[in-house]
Chain A
Amino acid sequence: MNPLYSELQWLPRPPQDFSNLLKAAGTSGESLGYDIRFLASFALDLNQLTRLAKVIGKANSEAASLHPLTPFRLAVLSNGTTDMLLPSLVGSAARHGIALEVIQPSYDQVAQEALTPDSKVNSSKPDAVLLALDYRALPLKLSLGDPEAASAIVQGVLGYLQALREGIKANSNAVCIFQTFAPPAEPLFGSLDRLLPGTFRNLIDAINRELCAYVHGSGDVLLDVAGLAETLGLANWHDPVMWNLGKFPFSAELIPLYGDHVARAVAAIRGKSRKTLILDLDNTVWGGVIGDDGLEGILIAQGDARGEAHLAVQRLALDLRQRGIVLAVSSKNTDEVAREPFLKHPEMLLKLDHIAVFQANWNDKATNIQAIAEELTLGLDAMVFLDDNPVERGLVRKLLPQVAVPELPDEPAYYARTLAAAGYFEAIAFATEDLKRAGFYQDNAKRASLQKQVGGVDAYLASLDMTITFQPFDSTGRARIVQLINKSNQYNLTTRRYTDPEVSDAENAPDVFTLQVRLQDIFGDNGMISVIICRTGEPGVWEIDTWLMSCRVLGRKVEHMVLREILNHAREARIQKLIGTYRPTEKNKLVIDHYKKLGFTNIAADGNGLTRWEMIVEGAEPETAPMNVVSQGFIASREKTFA
C-alpha cells in the first residue's frame, strides 16, 4: 500500500501526547473548537479519529460551541457497515473546518430511508446525504456480449440512483453526494473484461460514466471513490476479509484516507476550499539556492533529474493557476536576486506575471504570509504554503495554524504528487469565471507591505531544541569549510575565497583563530552552517577576515551565539578588540547591518560601501539565544600565541 495515501503523509505525525492533549481539549485557554481543529491537523489513525469524534459528538450533544468550526449535518446511506467509518468522517471533517454531525440509519436501509418522507434520514433534515454505496448495492447481472441487456442494466442502476435522489430531494431537500463505484479486483476473462459488454468491469465503467453525466451541473456532488481506489489499486481498496467479517465496504487501512476525502467534499460544499498557493523558491521551485549557486547553478533544466522534479512543482502550480488558484511567493532572499530566474532563466515555467504577490526578503515567513493574505484580502484559511524546509513549515504551522502546510518527503520528485494528494483545492464545480480568477488578484508580482512581526517566533525557536557546536578548523571539516568559503554569497561579510591549502594553513597558523559551527535541531542535523576566520593584526586585535553563514539557519540568532563564542576565546587569548569589515558585493546586501545589529561601533567607511566596525572585548555582552552550546577541540588553542 502506498504510504503517501494510506498514512496521509502530507500531514504531520500526531504528537506523542495526543491522548493527553485530547483530554485537555477546551481547558487550556483556547476554546474547544480551536483545540479540536489543531488535534485534527495531524495524520490520525482509526483509533485516534474515533476518540476525536467522541469528543466532538459529546460537544454536539451538549450543544457546546465548536467555533470556529462550521456545523454540518451529514446523513450516510450505505449497503455496508458504516460504524467504523463514521467517526473517521467526523474527525477528518474537523481538519477541514467542519463540525460534522452524522446521521446513521439502520443497516442497509438505503431505499426505505430515501423514499419514506418521515424516515430517520429525511426527518433529521440533513445538509447533505452521502450515498456510500459500492458495487454490491447494485442489481448487476452478467450479460456477456449482449450490449442491449448490458445497457438495460446500466439504465436500471441509474434509474435506482435517480429514484433515491428524487426521494431525498422531495423529502428533505438535502444535497446528494454520489460515489462512483470501484469495480471488483477479480477479472472474469482478463483484459477482455474492459471491452466486452456485460462484464462487471464494463458495466461499472458505463455506470460511472452515466452517473458523472447525471451529476454534472445538477447541483449535487460527486465523490470519486473509483478514482481513489484506482490510485491505491483495486486489490488494496477491496478487502474480502473485512467484507466477510462484517460487511465493511473497503480496506480498514484506508478509512482515514476515505474520511479525509469525504471531509474535503463537505468542506467544498461550505466554500472552505483553499484559494492561494504560496511557494518557497530555493529547493522548492528550483533546486539549489539562487543567492549562492547563481542563475547558472540552480537546477530547473529538462534532462536533469533534480531539475525535472522542481519543474513538476512549477507545472502543477501553473495548472492550479489555470483553474483559478492564486499563486504567491515567500522566499528568504534579496528581492532582485529572487526575481532573477523568473526574468532570465530560459527553463523557468513560472513567470513573474503568474505571481500575484512576491515576497522576497529576510523576514520570517509567518509575517510574510500574513502580508500576502492581507494584500489579497483573503483569509489565512485560504492559504497553502509549500516549503522544503521543515523549520519554516513548523514556524508557520505554529504561528499561523489556519494556513495549510504540507509535509514534504526528502525526494523532490514527490513534491508535486504530495501537494496534489493533500487535496487542498478540492472543488465541487467549475465555472468559466474560475479561469479568470487568478488574474483578478494579479498585479504583476507586487510586494506587500509588511506588518508587525507575528508574535511567538522566539518561543518557537526555543521549542526546536537547538544545539550549536563550535570547533576550530580541522582536517575532517576542511572539505566543507572550503566549499562554504567558495560558495556562500549572501550571508558572507567579506566574500573572500580560499583554496584547500590556504584553509589548511589557517588551521595551523599560530596567529589565526578559526571556527567551524554546526547546528542540530529536532528536525535533524543541519551540518556545518557557519565559518569564521580571525587574524591577529595589531597586538591585541583580531581582524574578522571571514564571517559567513548558511541562509538555511537565518533568523535563529546563530550569529549572536557565534559572537559570544568568539568573545570567549578572545578573552582567553587576551585580545582587547575585534574589528569587522563589510565588503559589499552584488549578493550580500543581507548582511549590510550585520555588525551594527551585533552591537559593533562603526569606525570607518569608504565611498564604495565598505564599512569597518569594532567591538571592545571587555564588557561586551551580546544577546543570547535558546540553544545548547558545545565548544570542543580548543585545548590546543591555549598554546597558540595570539598576542
Chain B
Amino acid sequence: MDDAQLYSRLTSVFHDVFDDETIEVTPQLTAMDVDGWDSLTHIRLILTVEKAFKVKFSTSEIGKLENVGQLAALIKGRS
C-alpha cells in the first residue's frame, strides 16, 4: 500500500468516525484540528482504523500518537 492509498483509506475512516466529510487528512493533522476529537472518540477512531486495516495496536502505542503522520507510520509498520 502506498501513501496515497493509505491516506485515502484513512480519510474515509475519519469521515465515518467524526461524521464530517470536510476533514482533510494530512500527516500534520492533530486532535486540536478536528471537532469532537476527544479521548473517547480517539478510542473509536483507533478501533475503526484497526478494523479497516486489519491491524492491532498496543495500549502504549495508542497513548503516544501525536498526529496522523505517526498513526500512518504505525499502520505501515504493521502491514
Contact = CB atoms under 8 A, between A and B. Distances in A.
A245 B47 contact: no
Q: Interface SS of chain A: helix, strand, loop or mixed? A: helix
Interface string B39-79: 11001100110010000000100100000000000000000
A245 B62 contact: yes
A43 to B, nearest CB: 14
A245 B43 contact: yes
A248 B39 CA distance: 13
Nearest to B15: A19
A47 B16 contact: yes
Contacts, number: 35
Contact of B19 (A54, A81, A242, A252): A54
A27 interface: no
A252 B51 CA distance: 11
Contacts of B39: 246
Given A244-B59, A245-B62, A46 B47 contact: yes
Contacts of A242: 43
Contacts of A487: none
A50 B59 contact: no
Contacts of A47: 16-17, 44, 48
A378 interface: no
A83 interface: yes
Complex A-B, nearest 7 residue pairs according to Cβ-Cβ distance, in ascending order: A47-B16, A83-B40, A51-B19, A252-B47, A47-B17, A241-B59, A246-B43
Interface residues of B, number: 14
A462 interface: no
A241 B19 CA distance: 26
Interface of B: 15-17, 19, 21, 39-40, 43-44, 47-48, 51, 59, 62
A241 B63 CA distance: 12
Interface string A275-286: 000000000000
Given A54-B19, A246-B39, A46 B44 contact: yes
A45 B47 CA distance: 11
A84 B44 contact: yes
Contacts of B15: 19
Contact of B59 (A46, A81, A83, A245): A245
Interface string A81-108: 1011000000000000000000000000
Given A47-B48, A252-B47, A84 B40 contact: yes
Interface in A43-62: 45-48, 50-51, 54
B19 A84 contact: no
Nearest to B19: A51
Given A46-B48, A51-B16, A241-B59, 17 more contacts: A19-B16, A19-B21, A45-B51, A46-B44, A47-B16, A47-B17, A48-B16, A50-B44, A84-B40, A84-B43, A84-B44, A242-B43, A245-B62, A246-B39, A252-B43, A252-B44, A252-B47
